[in-house]
Amino acid sequence: MVRNFEELKQLLIEVKDNDYNVPSGVDVDGVIADMLKFIGHTDAELRDKLIYSTFVQWAEVKGIFSVEQMIHILNTCLSDTHLFFGIGEKDTDSVFTRSFSSLLINISFCVHYEKPFLTTKDIHDIKEAVFRYISEEKDYRGYVDDKGWAHAVAHIADVLLTIADVEKAIDVDGNYCIGREGLLEVLQAVKTLVCNKEFVYSAEEDERLVTPFMVVTDRKVFTSKELIAWIDSFNMADNEYWKGTMPDDYYLYVNRKNFMRSLYFRLQSQISTEGFDEICKHMRGFLLESDDE
> Among 99, 107, 106, which Cα is nearest to 83's?
99
- Residue-averaged pLDDT of the chain: 92
Residue 167 above 90 pLDDT? no
Residue 7 above 80 pLDDT? yes
Give CA separation, 119 vs 1, 105, 133, in Å: 33, 15, 21
Mean local confidence (pLDDT), 259-283: 85
> Among 11, 110, 4, 111, which Cα is nearest to 51's?
11
Mean local confidence (pLDDT), 248-254: 89
Can you tell me the distance from the alpha carbon of 168 to that of 178, in angstroms, rounded to the nearest whole number?
A: 10
Can you tell me the distance from the alpha carbon of 97 to that of 38, in angstroms, rounded to the nearest whole number?
A: 8
> How does pLDDT run across 65-106, given as a tens digit for each residue?
999 999 999 999 999 999 999 999 999 999 999 999 999 999
- Global pTM value: 0.93
Could you give the residue ranges of the DSSP H alpha helices within the chain? 5-17, 28-37, 44, 53-56, 67-77, 94-114, 120-136, 152-164, 180-194, 205-218, 224-232, 248-268, 276-292
> How does pLDDT run across 198-238, given as a tens digit for each residue?
999 999 999 999 999 999 999 999 999 999 999 988 886 65
